[in-house]
Amino acid sequence: MNLKQLSETLGLSQTTVSRALNGYPEVAEATRRKVLEAAQAHNYRPNARAKSLATGRSMAIGHVIPVSAKHEMVNPIFADFVAGAGEAYLQHGFDMVLSLVPDDGEEAAYRELAAKRSVDGIIVHGPRTDDERIAMLRDIGLPFVVHGRMSRHADDYDWVDVNNLRAFYRATEFLLDLGHRRIALINGLVSMDFAARRLDGYTQALATRGIAPDPDLIRSDEMTEAYGYRSAGEMLDLADPPSAFLCSSIIAALGVRRAIEARGLAMARDVSIITHDDDLSYLSNRGEVPIFTATRSSVRDAGRLCAERVISLVQNPVQPAQQVLLEADLTVGQSTGPAPARTARDT
Amino acid sequence: MNLKQLSETLGLSQTTVSRALNGYPEVAEATRRKVLEAAQAHNYRPNARAKSLATGRSMAIGHVIPVSAKHEMVNPIFADFVAGAGEAYLQHGFDMVLSLVPDDGEEAAYRELAAKRSVDGIIVHGPRTDDERIAMLRDIGLPFVVHGRMSRHADDYDWVDVNNLRAFYRATEFLLDLGHRRIALINGLVSMDFAARRLDGYTQALATRGIAPDPDLIRSDEMTEAYGYRSAGEMLDLADPPSAFLCSSIIAALGVRRAIEARGLAMARDVSIITHDDDLSYLSNRGEVPIFTATRSSVRDAGRLCAERVISLVQNPVQPAQQVLLEADLTVGQSTGPAPARTARDT
DNA sequence: TTCATCGCCCAAAGCGCTTTGGTGAGATCC
DNA sequence: GGATCTCACCAAAGCGCTTTGGGCGATGAA
């Protein structure tokens, strides 16, 4: 059933039926009611392709997700982000289009997305410190919102980010206050902007106590459980092991805990962990006393905010760029404790 | 730059340009080359909306994801599924459209998706035992592939599933062979088809040894870490606690392990765990000796298979229904051991 | 009575592509 | 040398919707 058929059964013109359905004022109320009833009865929905061709709007937002051997954007954190964004899309009648693209073809993918006109706006994932996408994205003329930031750029674009620097500064400070001096950082890929900021926060906090960061205690990689386990294991086996770990993700933190316990050590008592917590629905770190002491910021909320922002930009493209900086809560859990007494060798 | 403009700059008709770009034979090779060059130079891409209106193909596959307070399809497992499917879509030039829909509006969502004609095919997620979607999906006439099965239905539709019954039968048998008699099942939501089959496998294996399932040792819920922790904790605190756990997801298994260790017990020595392992990229259970003994089946592969199948159906809708039943490997890890000697009370 | 106004509706022109049904020029055949 | 093909191209008709630019009859003011 298409518009033509519907209008024929009603004995009205396509124009009138279209206007009735879309709530235009120049159609009599009685007529509108009849049209709506008929549409309902025949289960009529406008063909989205035709509609978007006619209106120039496709009512869809694109998410470009780079895939490569070494980096996987499609991860549990992304899942929660998508869930949050999806809620916003659902509310506003937008579809969500995910395009996985090979790492090296990213620019082409954006251009293609724009040229194909299959989406009205874009959410940019995984910004890197040296990211050059801003100029290109502006060039192609689609509204976009970045989840995260691109350090090299002035704030003349829309983004939603967590205050990663402050979160990791505070977390480090928290460990320092507990007496820890050998603090390891299990970071995400440092080419990612968020990881670079976290490293900065960590380094700056150490600096306030006159501690130079020890390269042996800093790792940077894809934040899997196995990575956490491996990194923490190697560090714990050092002659001068860390007494605390600062982790970029709860998934990696699980691995760190496993490494600690595999060595017969007790979390909090022997080795402390503090992790960033994206408040994942399937790996919740809530409860009376959370498992991990953590800097918490819901990535689901971030997803929702990004989606709402891009929808707003689609509906009204001429707006000053807006930035949202989410602060992470520092919540104390069961994974931190005072630094254990140091051995003679340490002093 | 659209087709009309491109053809004007070339001094050719739209027809010829279109045919040249789409590889039709009735255009001279020299002309085709010129057209391709010009398209390249002007960065021309056909407008996807217009193209799909004209062809009737939208080159997109829809994923309908029910969301509700009690059930979250957007989870880490889903993320890996999407990653697998995305690879197939990328390869074949399809887009992936995710629609989150409220639990109660699912049927309407499918109908809408079909009526709007914004996708060429559908992947059905989270089939339930009493699922009535098959008839409706067939009714709306879009090709679809189910990830999982719907028990009530004959096999006259396309699906990709894991042999859940056999996997859990074997896993239970494995524990029984180790001498375990009190075996707990931490299952997914039993309204889900996969969970019902797993329960069957577990029950049948117990039955072969004349053991009646104990309702106190069977739980069914959303497979979060917290759920695993809570359930296992409560069971371990029973007067007659289980000596082994059978888990539906590695995420829940993490919670089970936490509960075990929180009680000062040792995994494998005191309490065994065997879990289904979806081979998630961020929670890998591989390595020399895997952490968990597990029935492993890659959900990423399942995603790829579903996507490839639906693409094949889009390209050629008249095919006999095809079913893919993946067998799970039973891999032995560090989480299982012989049942500890039983106390007097147990005998 | 006449003319402007208003309320309600319509025909037709796009949106940018594919595809049908040609056409004219040159090659081929008998 | 005329009929027939083939080759390479084109004009125009959709695909199903929105939107522009009226039109027509009733109403109210002059």
Which residues numbered 22-61 in B keep a CB inside 8 Å of some CB on A? 43-50, 52-53, 58, 60
Q: Is residue B52 part of a domain?
A: no
Contact A97 B97 (CB under 8 A): yes
Q: How far is it, in rounded angstroms, from Cα B47 to Cα A113?
A: 10
pLDDT, one tens digit per residue, over B18-73 is 999 999 988 999 999 999 999 999 999 999 999 999 999 999 999 988 887 666 76
Say which range, A332-346, B40-54, B145-159, B296-310, has the weakest mean pLDDT: A332-346
> pLDDT 10s per residue in chain A (347 long)?
899 999 999 999 999 999 999 999 889 999 999 999 999 999 999 999 999 999 999 999 999 888 876 667 678 899 999 999 999 999 999 999 998 888 788 888 898 888 889 999 999 998 988 888 888 888 888 999 999 999 878 889 999 999 999 999 999 999 999 999 999 999 999 999 999 999 999 999 999 999 999 999 999 999 999 999 999 999 999 999 999 999 999 999 999 999 999 899 999 999 999 999 999 998 999 988 899 999 999 999 999 999 999 999 999 998 999 999 999 999 999 999 999 986 544 44
A228 belongs to a structural domain: yes
Distance between CA B277 and CA B135 in Å, rounded? Answer: 32
The mean per-residue pLDDT over the stretch B115-142 comes to 90
Whether the beta carbon of B53 falls within 7 A of nucleic chain C: the reply is yes
CA dihedral of B279, B282, B286, B288, whole degrees rounded to 10: 180
Residue B347: what pLDDT?
A: 41
Q: What single string gives the DSSP state of each residue in B102-168? A: EGGGHHHHHHHHHHHT--SEEEE-S-BTT--HHHHHHHHT--EEEES--TTS-S-S-EEEE-HHHHH
Instruction: Output the distance from A15 CA to D4 C1' rounded to whole Å.
Output: 50
Count how many pairs of residues, chain A against chain B, have C-beta atoms within 8 Å: 165
Residue A6 contacts B, CB cutoff 8 Å: no
Count other C-beta atoms under 10 Å from residue A153's C-beta: 16
* Residue B102 near chain A (CB below 8 Å): yes
pLDDT of residue A347: 41
Yes or no, beta carbons of A281 and B224 under 8 Å apart: yes
CB-CB neighbors (< 8 A) of A125 in chain B:
none
* B181 Cβ within 7 A of any nucleic strand C atom: no
Which residue in the block uniquely carries the two structure tokens 């040296």?
A: A130
A141 shares its domain with A196:
no
B98 and A78 within 8 Å at the Cβ level: the answer is no
Q: How far is the CA of A4 from the C1' of D22 (A)?
A: 21
Question: A93 in a domain, yes or no?
Answer: yes
Q: Are residues A142 and A213 in the same domain?
A: no
Residues within 8 A of A (CB atoms), B 264-303 only: 280-284, 286-287, 291
Q: Name the residue with the least CA to C1' distance from nucleotide C9.
A: A16
Q: Which residue of B has its CA nearest to A59?
A: B118
B126, part of any domain: yes
Distance separating alpha carbons of residues B67 and B273, to the nearest angstrom: 30
Q: Output the distance from B32 CA to D1 C1' rounded to whole Å.
A: 36
Neighbours of A269 (CB within 10 A): 10
Proximity of residue B12 CB to strand D below 7 A: yes
Residue B312 sits at the chain A interface (C-beta within 8 Å): no
Instruction: Name the residue type at position A112.
Output: E
Same domain, A317 and A336: no
> Cα–Cα distances in Å, from A165 out to A202, A203, A209?
8, 10, 17
What's the domain count of chain B?
3
B228 and B289 housed in the same domain: yes
Separation of B22 CA and C29 C1' (Å) = 34
Place of tokens 């960033």: A276
A9 touches strand D (CB under 7 A): no
Per-residue confidence at B154, pLDDT binned at 50, 70, 90?
confident
pLDDT in tens, B218-253: 999 999 999 999 999 999 999 999 999 999 999 999
For the residues B138-148, what does the mean pLDDT come to? Answer: 93
pLDDT recorded at residue B71: 65
**Shortest CA gap B80–chain A (Å):** 7
Do A206 and A339 lie in one domain? The reply is: yes
Q: Is B107 on the interface with A (CB under 8 A)?
A: no
Quick check: A13 CB within 7 A of strand C? Answer: yes
Which runs of consecutive H residues, i.e. helices, occur in A154-283? 164-177, 193-208, 225-236, 250-262
State residue A153's pLDDT score: 81
Coil, helix or strand at residue A221: coil
- Does residue B54 lie within any of the structural domains? no
Is the CB atom of residue B9 positioned under 7 angstroms from any atom of strand C?
A: no
Same domain, A107 and A31: no
Section B296-307 average pLDDT? 97
Mean pLDDT for all residues in chain B: 92
Give the pLDDT score at B130: 84
| Closest residue (Cα, C1') to D16 | A50
B172 within domain boundaries: yes
Counted residue by residue, chain B has a size of 347
Note down the domain range covering A171.
164-297+330-346
Pair (A222, A258) in one structural domain:
yes
Distance CA B279, CA B63 (A): 21
Does residue B76 lie within 7 Å of nucleic acid chain C, judged by its CB?
A: no
Give the nearest nucleotide to B116, CA to C1': D16
Is residue B107 domain-shared with residue B231, that is, in the same domain? Answer: no
CATH code, B181:
3.40.50.2300
Query: Can you give the three-state secondary structure of B60-111, one letter per residue?
Result: EEEEEEEECCCCECCCHHHHHHHHHHHHHHHHHCCEEEEEEEEHHHHHHHHH
User: From the candidates B98, B261, B267, B273, which should be mutated to test the interface with A, based on the most A CB atoms within 10 A?
Assistant: B98
Per-residue pLDDT, B113: 87
> How many Å apart are CA B122 and CA B61, to the nearest integer?
6
The closest of A310, A318, A326 to A276, measured between CA atoms, is A326
Distance of residue A121 Cα from the nearest chain B Cα, in angstroms: 14
Most B CBs within 10 Å, among A281, A282, A284, to test the B interface? A282
Mean pLDDT value of segment B84-112: 90
B52 touches strand D (CB under 7 A): no
- Residues 45-104 of chain A with CB under 7 A from strand D are 46-47, 50-51, 53-55
pLDDT at B70: 63
The distance of B278 to chain A (nearest Cα, Å) reads: 13
Structure confidence at residue A229 (pLDDT): 95
Protein-contacted positions of strand C (CB under 7 Å) = 7-22
Half-sphere exposure of A9 (CA within 13 A, CB side): 14
Measure CB to CB from residue B98 to each of A98, A100, A115 and give the nearest one.
Answer: A98
User: What separation in angstroms does the CA of A237 have from each of A187, A240, B260?
Assistant: 19, 8, 26
Same domain flag for B203 and B336:
yes
Residue A102 lies in a domain: yes
pLDDT score, position B344:
41
| Judgement on whether residues B23 and B66 belong to the same structural domain of the protein | no
Shared domain for A87 and A224, answered yes or no, is: no
Q: How far, in Å, is the CA of B270 from the C1' of nucleotide C14? A: 75
Residues A236 and A340 in one domain: yes
Would the CB atoms of A116 and B87 count as touching at under 8 Å?
A: no
Whether A321 is covered by a domain: the verdict is yes
Q: Residue A41: which CATH number?
A: 1.10.260.40
Q: Do A223 and B72 touch (CB under 8 A)?
A: no
B117 in A contact zone (CB under 8 Å) = yes
